[in-house]
Amino acid sequence: MKTVDAVLIGAGQRGANDYAPFALRHPDQLRFVAVAEPSPKRRARFALQHHIPLENQFVSWEALFACTQMAQAAIICTQDQMHVGPALAALRAGYDVLLEKPVATTREGCRQVVSAAAELGRQLHVCHVLRYTRHFQTMRQILQSGVLGQIINLDHRENVSWWHMSHSFVRGSWANIAESCPLILTKCCHDFDILLWMLERKCERLSSVGKLVHFRSENAPANAPERCLDGCPASETCPFYAPFIYVDLLPLWRNVAETSTGWAHLVMQAQLRAPGLVKALGTVAPVMRQINEYRGWPLSVVTLDPTPESVLEALKSGPYGRCVYHCGNDVVDHQVVLMQFEGDISVTLTMHGHSHVEGRSTRIEGSHGQLQAFFGLGGSWIEVHEHRSGRSTRHDTTSEVGAAHGGGDEGLIAAFVYSIREGRIQLASELAQQALESHLIAFAAEDARLGGQVVSTNKL
C-alpha cells in the first residue's frame, strides 16, 4: 500500500515528540516531507530526524500552505488558539487534516473548521486519543455487550495529579484562559467525547460548578519568592518545589509505581528505594538505562534537550521554575459537570488537579451489573460485577510500557493513516461531527459554571 506523505505544522511536544515518531517506526505507512515551525532549534531537529530538505522547512504555516500542495496529509499541532487558521488553510489547499484538540477555542471556530472539511470533501480527524486505547475500547465493548443491563448512572473522574496540574495548568501553556481556553474544554473535550461514544446517546442537559481554589497567591508559603530556586523557605516541604518535580522526578516515578504491575512495578519500586542501584545496573540492563536516561514528558517540555544540568538551568529562568502561587494562572483547578443523557441516564464528570495518582476512573451502574475502571500512567484495568451470577471479571487493559496516553497516540495516528489510505471520507466526516459535539458540550459546561444555570444541550 502507498505510504502517506504528510506535512507537520508545529514541531513541539505533540507534533515532533508524540506523533511524528510513528513515521520513523513505520516508514512504509507515513513519511513527513515538510515542516512549519518558528523555533529554529525545533525545526532543525525535526528536519534532521525526518530528512526534510531545506526548501521544505518553513517558519510558519502560512508560508507552507502558500506553496503548491506537497502531501496528502497535514498534521496540525500548534497551540490551542492557533488551530483554526492552519486547519482552514490546509483544508482549502487540498490536505486531509489531523488536528490537535481543541478544534478551536470558540464555538464559531469549531463549527467553521468542521463545516469547511465537509464542504471541501476533505478528511478531518481530531486528536481524541482515548478512543484508540485498549482501555476505552474494551469498556465500550462491555457496554455494547449488554452485560450491565440498562445503564442507570455513570460517574467518570479525570483525576489530574497535583504535579501534572502544576506543570501544565499552573506553570505551563494552559494556565490562562486568554492564552488557551477554559480547562473543561482543554482537558475534558476528550472525556465528553468518550462519554458520548460509549453511551451512544446524546446529552440533554447539564449544570456545572468549579473554581480555582488553591493555586493563588494568598496560599503561598510565607516569604515564598517568585521562583523556587531563589531561596524558597518551603523548599523542603512544598510538593510543588520545582527541582523536586523535575530534577528528582520522584512524583512521576511514584505515579508509575503505584499504578503498574508485574516487572514494571518491581523496576519502579527499585528506582524509588534504591536509585543508586538502578543507576549502577543501567550499564548492563536496558530497562534500567531507560530510567536513568529518561528525557520524555514532562522534561521534554521544560527544555529541548533535557539533561539534569539543562533542566536545572531552565528552572532558574524558565516558566517551570516559578512558584506555583505566583504564576498569574486563572483556569479552574476543579470542576464538576452533572449531565442527563437520553434514557434518563445520570452522568457526572469530575475533573480536578489535586489527585495523588494521575488517572481517569469510571464507575457505571447498570440494572444487571456494575463496572469499575481505572486508566493510569503505569497500568489500567476494568472490573465487571454481575448481579445475578455474582461473577466478577477483571480485564487488564494496560498498554505497552511507555506508550503515551495508554497507547492512544499510536492508535490515533495509525487510524488516521489507514483512513487516508482507504479514502474513508464518510467515517472521517462522522468523527468530525462527533468531535464537534463533544466540544459544544464543553462550551455549554463552561456557560453553566459561569452562569450557575442548567443548560439544555439538545440543540447545540
Ligand X SMILES: NC(=O)c1ccc[n+]([C@@H]2O[C@H](COP(=O)([O-])OP(=O)(O)OC[C@H]3O[C@@H](n4cnc5c(N)ncnc54)[C@H](O)[C@@H]3O)[C@@H](O)[C@H]2O)c1
Asked if 392 and 384 count as a contact pair (C-beta separation under 8 A), the reply is: yes
Distance CA(349)–CA(374), nearest Å, equals: 14
Measured in degrees and rounded to the nearest 5, phi and psi for residue 277 equal -65, -45
To the nearest whole angstrom, how small is the minimum distance from the Cβ of residue 151 to ligand X?
A: 26
Nearer to ligand X, 87 or 139 (CB): 87
To the nearest whole angstrom, how small is the minimum distance from the Cβ of residue 241 to ligand X?
A: 23
Contacts of 400 (CB under 8 A, 6+ apart): 407
Nearer to ligand X, 36 or 448 (CB): 36
Contacts of 258 (CB under 8 A, 6+ apart): 357, 376, 378
To the nearest whole angstrom, how small is the minimum distance from the Cβ of residue 418 to ligand X?
A: 18
To the nearest whole angstrom, how small is the minimum distance from the Cβ of residue 279 to ligand X?
A: 29
Measured in degrees and rounded to the nearest 5, phi and psi for residue 355 equal -80, 145
Nearer to ligand X, 37 or 365 (CB): 37
Beta-strand ranges (E) seen in 212-344 are: 334-341
Q: Which DSSP string do the residues of 151-195 spell out, in sequence order? A: EEEEEEEEEEEHHHIIIIIISSTTS-TTTS--HHHHTTHHHHHHH
> What amino acid is encoded at 146 in this protein?
G
Nearer to ligand X, 62 or 430 (CB): 62
**Contacting positions for ligand X (CB under 6 A):** 9-15, 36-39, 42, 60-61, 77-80, 82, 100-101, 127, 129, 173, 186, 405
To the nearest whole angstrom, how small is the minimum distance from the Cβ of residue 36 to ligand X?
A: 4
To the nearest whole angstrom, how small is the minimum distance from the Cβ of residue 442 to ligand X?
A: 13
Distances in whole angstroms, Cα of residue 284 to Cα of each of 210, 278, 287? 50, 10, 9
Nearer to ligand X, 382 or 412 (CB): 412
CA torsion through residues 226, 230, 233, 238, sign: positive
In angstroms, what is the C-alpha Rg of the chain?
22
Nearer to ligand X, 207 or 397 (CB): 397
Nearer to ligand X, 271 or 303 (CB): 303
To the nearest whole angstrom, how small is the minimum distance from the Cβ of residue 327 to ligand X?
A: 17
